[in-house]
Amino acid sequence: MQKLKFKINGKSYEAVVSEKEHNVASIELNGKAYIVEVEKEEAVASPLIAKPKRSKKSAAAETFVEPTVEMGNAGSIKAPLPGNVAKVKVQEGAKVNAGDVLIVLEAMKMENEILAPAAGTVKKLYVQEGKAVQQGEALVDLE
């Protein structure tokens, strides 16, 4: 069961998704039950983040442990935390392998490498170096 709260045009709604089988779900919206058919479920990948490195701006010594990479699904990679894009390591159309560094985010004087969760092709790049991003903001789409 999953509970969702959201607003549409300033009006608050509360939904409870209780069952989902294939493309059919049972949803209760503001107390009224509905059976809905999901037309298309978009894949959203959770980015893999390597252990942070100290920024060159930091006086502390840099240490880095090679991350372990688990296979995941390609899809939309979103910023796991707010920060500034320090480096963009890929271009649109580039082929990447699981675990390849896509983007380096600098947050709290630490560099966080955003890794590809699966092999794929860079479909769309939403950021450029120097851009500030918020948590959950789209960084790159893989297909």
Q: pLDDT of 33-56, one tens digit each?
A: 888 876 665 555 555 555 555 555
Best CA proximity match to 57, nearest among 84, 94, 18? 84
pTM of the full predicted structure? 0.52
User: Position 143: which residue type?
Assistant: E
Structural domains of the chain, ranges and CATH numbers in brackets: 2-37 (no CATH), 44-142 (2.40.50.100)
The 10s digit of each residue's pLDDT in 81-104 is 889 999 999 999 999 998 889 999
- For residue 139, count other CB atoms closer than 10 A to its CB: 22
